A = this chain, B = another copy of it.
């Protein structure tokens, strides 16, 4: 076991000062060719690597960006992380991911933890609980300290910062359009309560699309879940009582559950009932029949968020000018629609 070697070690060994070593390793003009060669060779031999912590403390920059997501098991979020990593790594930044697990408490703790020096900026998506409580003080505190922040997907207008979202309403619109154009009339929506920002936007888009196609809105065709969990009995009674020929679901899980139910009722998909689900994840791809989906372009979203953040991090300008980037969703047609 050979413990890590420091500048001081090199300096002592080579009988020069610490400053000389530091400069030599940075190839400073101040140091003679000879000394530089000697020091660099020695450093390479002993595999010297500067201590990140010390460098961060000195420079007051960590080259780390903190990402807080509600749920790491959810495919969408993982693709966003992929995009963030991709861009950030290319720019020499490291990505620290923390999971709030859809909880307010863990979101606060993780943010405080990272905010105390560990990162140069945040990329985050709100947890369900935070959106319900509508308490954003922990976030405000961070931005008040001047730490750059980018929110994505689950955002709030209560915080002034850069944001990147997809046009959820447009996604719902695309889905309804698809249904209408294949002759469907009784179009249902399975969604969550409105406090989830995305749930609301998608519901709005659904309603707007119906209006656009002159289809009367029937509230009874909208099934709202109180959370992201599937409530089996609610699904059961919904499909028993309602006559529908197309269903738009705000996530894959809802869609999978509904499709199985409908399948059990001996209806054909897509002939009798068509399905479209939000988020083009693994489930959509491998469902039977495969599920037509609205792609959220998570990776792109991540890249864009990282780009915005690093931009802010690297320009010291105090003037706060925040932009919101809206990404356009696309419809991925598969076997669950005509």
- Which A residues are closer than 8 A to B by beta carbons? 1-4, 47, 49-54, 56-57, 62, 64, 72-73, 75, 78-79, 81-82, 85, 89, 94-99, 101, 106, 109-110, 112-118, 141, 144-146, 253, 256-257, 259-260, 263, 282-283, 286-288, 318
Contact = CB atoms under 8 A, between A and B. Distances in A.
Number of copies of this chain that the complex holds: 2
Given A94-B110, A287-B288, 19 more contacts: A2-B144, A2-B145, A49-B112, A50-B116, A52-B118, A53-B53, A54-B117, A64-B118, A72-B72, A73-B82, A73-B282, A82-B99, A85-B101, A94-B98, A95-B98, A259-B288, A260-B288, A263-B288, A282-B282
A101 B112 CA distance: 28
A238 B145 CA distance: 61
A62 B73 CA distance: 26
A101 B253 CA distance: 26
A1 B286 contact: no
Contacts of A287: 286, 288
B78 A72 contact: yes
A113 B116 CA distance: 20
Contacts of A112: 49
The 4 closest A-B CB pairs, nearest first, are A256-B286, A53-B117, A97-B97, A51-B117
A59 to B, nearest CB: 10
A318 B259 CA distance: 57
Contact of A3 (B3, B56, B146): B146
A114 B56 CA distance: 13
Residue of A54, A79, A96, A257 with most chain B CB atoms under a 10 A cut-off: A96
Contact of A145 (B4, B64, B115, B260): B4
Nearest to A57: B53
A49 B101 CA distance: 24
A98 B97 CA distance: 8
Nearest to A255: B286
B146 A53 contact: no
A58 to B, nearest CB: 9
Contacts of A288: 259-260, 263, 287-288
A6 to B, nearest CB: 11
A116 B72 contact: no
Contacts of A116: 4, 49-52
10 contacts: A1-B145, A4-B145, A52-B118, A53-B62, A64-B118, A72-B72, A81-B99, A85-B99, A283-B283, A288-B288
A54 B180 CA distance: 61
A113 B141 contact: no
A95 B95 CA distance: 12
A98 B92 CA distance: 14
A47 B116 CA distance: 12
A288 B283 CA distance: 11
Nearest to A95: B98
Contact of A57 (B57, B96, B99, B283): B57
A93 to B, nearest CB: 10
Contacts of A47: 141
